[in-house]
């Protein structure tokens, strides 16, 4: 479904407000320019608010410092001149590319991507670890701005594996903040919490007042989503104090907004109004459109909860207007923002009994929620649309959206159940990992001290030249050993996963065979009883008839459905991949592919499908033809690779 909202294009919006926007940016720049490399520290920031099934507003978004687009362009120009000068080494070139990727991201994503890839290529060619780390970080930031969370996560995790003594602590802190933000946007709360705590620990060790409030803020968001509002308020308060100390109006406004949202959750509306109005005043002063979007929405929720529906609608209109003013340097998902706003507007029109408008805004919300993978909003809106169409007597549309709601709701329940389990194990796992890291750190330090003593003895006995040779040899030896160990661990993990998959395949095959044999057995008994029932006395006739009825009811009618559900739990994307590549495949051919993927023999497949060997051979021939396989290609091997 495609959104049909009318929105001014980014270039046109820029032309209309360029003068005022850049004037404001320059004013903000004067406040922040005294902080060395501040833009680098602000790249990753996540502001969100708690929501589950109650229809509350959620923003799992990143807020980018507005001053970045002003001085980033100037900084990029100077870096570009240095890059083109030719008076730099390959490693210096890689570092400049990483910085250019970061700077261009504020105003030209394509150029940012170009320089980051260029820097990564140079770093890989020269085995320059720091260059690889920084360029992977830049690529992660770029993909994050492009709403490609899976790719962003891949680049951040690759950078994490490269952390060594050459990486600056603040770069490591930024990595864990970025990782936590990606996990948060993917609703993977355990991994987000873990990443934030690791980053917080490093920031506390280095007394980094720039990063500390961001970690406090994001940890507060996690606790809000775990429904621990007291902990959430505790961390929000810590963040607010540091933001006020830094005199940073953007982050002060957003933190006040989040605190107001927590008080709304606690049904303390007076406190919620107090903090939200303070946030609104700051955001108006600095033209923080993202903050205004959030605050107007939260105020709209308050009005709606108090029965002031028209006031709520007016506030949602203001929220949408602010969202329309977001520029290209906004670090977050616009689709997510508009999905939430349209959902609330749909609710208000529904409350006002203006059902056509309610349906219109629910459709817009569903469209944007699908783009941003917002399952909660998709679930909520699908249910509302199903109810509306049912109320209007449109059975086909009602059935369609109710079916969509059921599927989404099942997925959402599974996610929430997993989050509940995670909540119980979160603190235990965190403490255990911290103790393990401390022990490993002590062991590494002890080993380093021992090697240092050996080096000292070598210097005394053999001289500086011999020491250099020994040092290089030990370094190389340790590096190769580490690589070999990593390779062995990867092989072991791969073997483990392979065994688990093989076990699940066997379990799946056994299950479907059991269900089919059970059905055959029950059916055979039922038929025997039906034959026996003939000629029996009248008083026995009713008893046997009841037994036959009970047996018929116990026969599992949805064997194939249960098999396909279980199969897709093990092989998640198998059917989708086949259907995308070969849309002409029939359901029976898809089912045959599933049996072959489980490496079942022709006899087993024939027993399950009640086909003769000749019919099965013909079916396999037709399947090979549709898949475009040559006679020499192995069908099972081909399906296993999908």
Which is higher by pLDDT, 447 or 215?
215
pLDDT of residue 87: 78
pLDDT of residue 351: 93
Written as one string, the DSSP assignment of 191-242 is: HHHHHHHHHHHHHHHTT-TTTHHHHHHHHHHHHHHTT-HHHHHHHHHHHHHH
Task: Provide the pLDDT confidence category of residue 425 given band limits of 50, 70 and 90.
Answer: low
pLDDT of residue 636: 84
For residue 621, how far is the Cα from the chain centroid? 42
Q: State the average pLDDT over residues 425-440.
A: 63
Which is higher by pLDDT, 263 or 642?
263
Of 329, 330, 45, 372, the closest CA to residue 180 belongs to 45
Q: Tell me, what DSSP letter sits at residue 610?
A: T
pLDDT of residue 86: 72
Which range of 103-107, 533-537, 563-567 scores highest in mean pLDDT? It is 103-107
**423 phi and psi, to 5 degrees?**
-60, -40
**Pair 252, 243: CB distance under 8 Å:** yes
Q: How far apart are the C-alpha atoms of 334 and 35, rounded to whole Å? A: 30
Q: How far apart are the C-alpha atoms of 577 and 15, rounded to whole Å? A: 44
Q: Cα–Cα–Cα angle for 584, 586, 592, nearest 5°? A: 120
Q: Which two tokens stand for residue 357?
A: 């408008």
- Cα→Cα distances 454→165, 460, 478, Å: 21, 10, 16
Written as one string, the DSSP assignment of 143-197 is: HHHTT-HHHHHHHHHHHHHT--TTS-HHHHHHHHHHHHHHHHHTT-HHHHHHHHH
Q: How far apart are the C-alpha atoms of 81 and 243, rounded to whole Å? A: 36
Taking only the tens place, the pLDDT of each residue in 575-597 is 888 888 898 888 888 888 988 88
Q: How far apart are the C-alpha atoms of 417 and 201, rounded to whole Å? A: 29
Q: How far apart are the C-alpha atoms of 18 and 23, rounded to whole Å? A: 8
Q: Has residue 305 got a pLDDT over 90?
A: yes
pLDDT of residue 477: 85
Q: What is the CA radius of gyration of the chain?
A: 31
Residue 620 makes CB contacts below 8 A (sequence gap 6+) with 592, 635
Of 378, 370, 361, the closest CA to residue 4 belongs to 361
Task: Provide the pLDDT confidence category of residue 24 given band limits of 50, 70 and 90.
Answer: very low
pLDDT of residue 41: 29
Q: Has residue 514 got a pLDDT over 80?
A: no
Q: Tell me, what DSSP letter sits at residue 629?
A: -
**Pair 375, 415: CB distance under 8 Å:** yes
Of 222, 248, 250, 246, the closest CA to residue 234 belongs to 222
Task: Give the number of other CB atoms < 10 A from CB of residue 535.
Answer: 8
Q: State the average pLDDT over residues 132-153.
A: 90
Taking only the tens place, the pLDDT of each residue in 468-496 is 888 888 888 888 888 888 888 888 887 77
pLDDT of residue 43: 29
Q: Locate the domains of the chain by residue range.
A: 428-498, 571-642
**Pair 79, 96: CB distance under 8 Å:** yes
Taking only the tens place, the pLDDT of each residue in 308-350 is 999 999 999 999 999 998 875 566 678 889 999 999 999 999 9
Q: How far apart are the C-alpha atoms of 488 and 118, rounded to whole Å? A: 31
Q: How far apart are the C-alpha atoms of 221 and 218, rounded to whole Å? A: 5
Cα within 13 Å of Cα(603), Cβ side: 0
pLDDT of residue 579: 87
Task: Give the number of other CB atoms < 10 A from CB of residue 8.
Answer: 12
pLDDT of residue 352: 93
Q: State the average pLDDT over residues 613-628.
A: 88
Q: Is the dihedral of CA 532, 534, 538, 543 positive or negative?
A: positive
Q: How far apart are the C-alpha atoms of 230 and 221, rounded to whole Å? A: 12
pLDDT of residue 565: 75
Q: Is the dihedral of CA 538, 540, 546, 547 positive or negative?
A: negative
pLDDT of residue 10: 33
pLDDT of residue 544: 74
Q: Which two tokens stand for residue 381?
A: 């809106």
Lowest mean pLDDT among 120-134, 156-170, 290-304, 328-342: 328-342
Written as one string, the DSSP assignment of 39-82 is: HHHTS--EE----SSS------EE---TTHHHHHHHHHHHHHHH
Q: Has residue 6 got a pLDDT over 60?
A: no
Reported as type and span, the H/E element at residue 324 is helix 309-324
Q: Three-state secondary structure along 164-179?
A: CCCCCHHHHHHHHHHH
Taking only the tens place, the pLDDT of each residue in 30-89 is 333 333 333 232 323 333 333 333 223 333 333 333 334 445 566 777 777 777 777 788
Q: How far apart are the C-alpha atoms of 424 and 429, rounded to whole Å? A: 9
Q: Cα–Cα–Cα angle for 239, 184, 48, nearest 5°? A: 50
Q: State the average pLDDT over residues 531-548.
A: 68
**47 phi and psi, to 5 degrees?**
-120, 130
pLDDT of residue 534: 60
* Averaged pLDDT of the chain: 78
Taking only the tens place, the pLDDT of each residue in 368-398 is 988 888 888 999 999 999 999 998 889 999 9
Task: Provide the pLDDT confidence category of residue 28 given band limits of 50, 70 and 90.
Answer: very low
Taking only the tens place, the pLDDT of each residue in 223-281 is 888 788 889 999 999 999 999 888 889 889 989 999 999 999 889 999 999 999 999 99
Q: State the average pLDDT over residues 432-444.
A: 70
Which is higher by pLDDT, 205 or 513?
205
Q: Has residue 363 got a pLDDT over 90?
A: yes
Of 88, 54, 82, 35, the closest CA to residue 267 belongs to 54
Q: State the average pLDDT over residues 528-543.
A: 66
Q: How many helices (H) and strands (E) does the chain have?
A: 27, 2
Q: Has residue 97 got a pLDDT over 60?
A: yes
What is the length of the chain? 642
For residue 133, how far is the Cα from the chain centroid? 22
- Cα→Cα distances 173→151, 200, 204, 396, 640, Å: 20, 8, 10, 53, 41
pLDDT of residue 71: 56
Of 567, 556, 561, the closest CA to residue 520 belongs to 556
Task: Provide the pLDDT confidence category of residue 432 given band limits of 50, 70 and 90.
Answer: low
Q: For a pLDDT cut of 70, what percent of the chain falls above it? A: 78
Tell the CATH topology of 571-642.
Arc Repressor Mutant, subunit A (1.10.10)
């Amino acid at each position: 479904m495609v959104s049909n909202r009318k929105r001014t294009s980014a270039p046109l919006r820029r032309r209309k407000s360029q003068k005022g926007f850049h004037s404001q940016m320059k004013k903000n720049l004067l406040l922040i320019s005294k902080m060395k490399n501040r833009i680098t520290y602000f790249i990753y920031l996540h502001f969100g608010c708690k929501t589950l099934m109650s229809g509350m507003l959620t923003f799992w978004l990143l807020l980018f410092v507005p001053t970045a687009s002003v001085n980033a362009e100037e900084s990029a120009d100077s870096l570009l001149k240095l890059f083109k000068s030719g008076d730099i080494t390959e490693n210096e070139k890689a570092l400049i590319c990483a910085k250019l990727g970061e700077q261009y991201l504020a105003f030209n994503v394509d150029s940012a991507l170009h320089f980051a890839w260029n820097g990564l290529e140079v770093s890989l060619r020269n085995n320059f670890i720091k260059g690889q780390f920084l360029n992977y970080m830049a690529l992660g930031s770029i993909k994050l701005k492009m709403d490609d969370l899976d790719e962003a996560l891949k680049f951040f995790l690759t950078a994490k594996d490269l952390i060594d003594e050459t990486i600056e602590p603040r770069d490591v802190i930024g990595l864990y903040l970025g990782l936590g933000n990606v996990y948060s946007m993917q609703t993977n709360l355990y991994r987000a919490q873990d990443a934030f705590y690791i980053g917080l620990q490093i920031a506390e060790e280095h007394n980094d007042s720039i990063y500390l409030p961001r970690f406090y803020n994001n940890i507060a968001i996690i606790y809000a989503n775990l429904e621990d509002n007291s902990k959430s308020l505790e961390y929000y308060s810590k963040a607010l104090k540091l933001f006020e100390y830094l005199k940073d109006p953007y982050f002060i406004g957003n933190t006040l907004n989040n605190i107001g949202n927590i008080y709304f959750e606690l049904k303390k509306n007076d406190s919620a109004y107090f903090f939200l109005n303070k946030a609104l005043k700051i955001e108006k002063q600095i033209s923080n459109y993202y903050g205004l979007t959030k605050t107007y929405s939260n105020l709209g929720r308050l009005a709606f909860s108090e029965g002031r529906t028209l006031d709520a609608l007016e506030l949602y209109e203001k929220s949408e207007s602010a969202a329309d003013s977001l520029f290209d340097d906004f670090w977050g998902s616009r689709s997510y923002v508009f999905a939430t706003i349209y959902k609330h507007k749909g609710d208000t029109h529904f409350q006002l009994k203006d059902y056509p408008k309610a349906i219109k805004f629910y459709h817009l919300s569903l469209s944007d929620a699908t783009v941003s993978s917002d399952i909660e909003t998709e679930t909520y809106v699908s249910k509302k649309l199903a109810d509306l169409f049912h109320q209007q007597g449109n059975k086909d549309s009602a059935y369609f959206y109710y079916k969509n709601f059921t599927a989404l709701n099942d997925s959402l329940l599974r996610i929430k159940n997993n989050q509940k389990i995670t909540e119980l194990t979160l603190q235990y796992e965190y403490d255990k990992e911290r103790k393990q890291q401390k022990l490993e750190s002590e062991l590494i330090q002890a080993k380093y001290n021992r090697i240092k003593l050996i080096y000292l003895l070598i210097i005394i006995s053999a001289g500086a030249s011999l020491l250099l040779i020994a040092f290089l040899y030990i370094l190389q030896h340790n590096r190769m050993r580490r690589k070999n160990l990593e390779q062995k661990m990867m092989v072991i993990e791969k073997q483990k996963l392979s065994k688990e998959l093989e076990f699940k395949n066997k379990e799946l095959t056994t299950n479907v065979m059991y269900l089919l044999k059970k059905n055959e057995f029950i059916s055979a008994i039922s038929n025997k009883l039906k034959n026996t029932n003939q000629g029996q006395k009248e008083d026995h006739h009713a008893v046997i008839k009841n037994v036959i009825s009970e047996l018929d009811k116990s026969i599992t009618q949805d064997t194939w459905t249960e098999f396909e559900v279980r199969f897709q739990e093990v092989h998640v994307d198998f059917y989708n991949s086949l259907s995308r590549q070969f849309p002409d495949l029939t359901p029976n051919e898809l089912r045959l592919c599933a049996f072959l993927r489980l490496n079942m023999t022709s006899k087993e497949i024939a027993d399950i499908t009640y086909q003769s060997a000749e019919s099965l051979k013909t079916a396999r021939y037709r399947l090979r033809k549709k898949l475009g396989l040559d006679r020499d290609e192995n069908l099972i091997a081909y399906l296993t690779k999908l």
